[in-house]
Amino acid sequence: MKPKQVLLVTGSSGLIGSEVCGFFAQLGFDIHGVDNNQRAVFFGPAGDTRWNQRRLEQSLPAFHHHELDIRDRAGVGRLLAELRPTAIVHAAAQPSHDRAADIPFDDFDVNAVGTLNLLVAARQHCPESPFVYLSTNKVYGDRPNTIKLKELATRWDYDDPAYAHGISENFSIDQSKHSLFGASKAAADILAQEYGRYFNLPTCCLRGGCLTGPNHSGVELHGFLSYLVKCNVEQKEYRIFGYKGKQVRDNIHAEDVARFIHAFISAPRAGEVYNLGGGRDNSCSLLEAFTLAQEFTGHPQKYTYLDQARAGDHICYYSDLRKMQAHYPQWSITKSLRQTVKEIVEAWHRRQTPS
């Protein structure tokens, strides 16, 4: 009999980690999740992810939770030595660029050093195993804001044919304002690339746009679509920070992220980088997201407008998905933005009235 495939997922109680756990459990993998609910430390009770850990423990017989901080270098080493996983998906992070400014050491220790802890242990104990790192489009800093833009009725858009398909992996990450979060994630991104290029580990960096879905514990500082929909459902005020509410994000459902991760793990390459988002088709501005949420809740969005944009925030960002599709032609986006918003609305209703 073939030995069972073992997947190690860090940040397993978070949006992406939990989706990946469910996806690979269905494929027959043994799933080992690492999470210490650090999101509740970063964002307070609204960021608590224990509910999601319990959901995985109750619904997935093949799921094993490890209460481990990825900053615990010896602990990470021991776990990888014991498991020697077939593949690693690293999704644990301090994920907010605004929060990072207040906690620079925690941010860097989790995002950069935590990633290095995992890479070193992976090289030592399972160098053949694909290693997928969830990076971010914030590695490009605010440089996307230098692209010529046009203002449309409800959104900004690129006014340069070079970006008709969005931002590609060749975009410079240098000499722009990243936020401390963008800097710590860029450090980890380069480390993951280096473990591929220098040590030939099958690593990849997925530079996420807005990764979203029903299992996000969205808060004002992270998880914009989940949080926006939550405000709409609860009829609470959403705060727009600058750019007339026309700032554009590209949104990808966590399930489509998990499907790409599966494609990569099935046919890994070394030291690759992919921009992973919803692309132009699944992009929306805040104003457009309000309208979409209203379609499913019936409530117009309550909001206030603040003139000051967030430092380093993108005015318009959508990912060029062509490299992902060229390398993995069987992969494509399957969940439309409407479908995703519908699922998020339903999830917030469920979470407000647990059975």
By CB neighbour count within 10 A (0-12 exposed, 13-18 middle, 19+ buried), where does 292 fall?
buried
The single residue among 5, 37, 325, 336 that binds ligand NAD, judged by CB under 6 A, is: 37
The single residue among 15, 119, 229, 261 that binds ligand NAD, judged by CB under 6 A, is: 15
The single residue among 20, 83, 122, 211 that binds ligand NAD, judged by CB under 6 A, is: 211
Shortest Å distance, C-beta 306 to ligand NAD? 21
Q: Does position 210 bind ligand NAD by CB under 6 A? A: yes
Q: Does position 89 bind ligand NAD by CB under 6 A? A: no
Shortest Å distance, C-beta 48 to ligand NAD? 9
The three state secondary structure string of 223-246 is: CHHHHHHHHHHHCCCEEEECHHHC
Question: Would you give the distance in Å from CA 320 to the centre of its chain?
Answer: 16
HSE of 322, CA atoms in CB hemisphere, 13 A: 9
Q: Does position 39 bind ligand NAD by CB under 6 A? A: yes
Question: Which residue's C-beta sits nearest to ligand NAD?
Answer: 14
Tokens of 234: 């609860």
Q: How many CB atoms lie within 10 A of CB 314?
A: 23
Smallest CA-to-CA distance from 155 within 237, 243, 279, 220 is with 243
Smallest CA-to-CA distance from 203 within 134, 113, 137, 277 is with 134
- How far is the C-alpha of 144 from the C-alpha of 173, rounded, in Å? 10
Choose the binding region for ligand NAD from 7-15, 23-31, 279-287, 338-346 (rule: CB under 6 A): 7-15
Shortest Å distance, C-beta 71 to ligand NAD? 5
Shortest Å distance, C-beta 341 to ligand NAD? 15
Give the amino acid at 344: I
Binding site for ligand NAD (CB under 6 A): 11, 13-17, 34-39, 49, 69-71, 91-93, 95, 110, 114, 134, 136, 208, 210-211, 216, 223
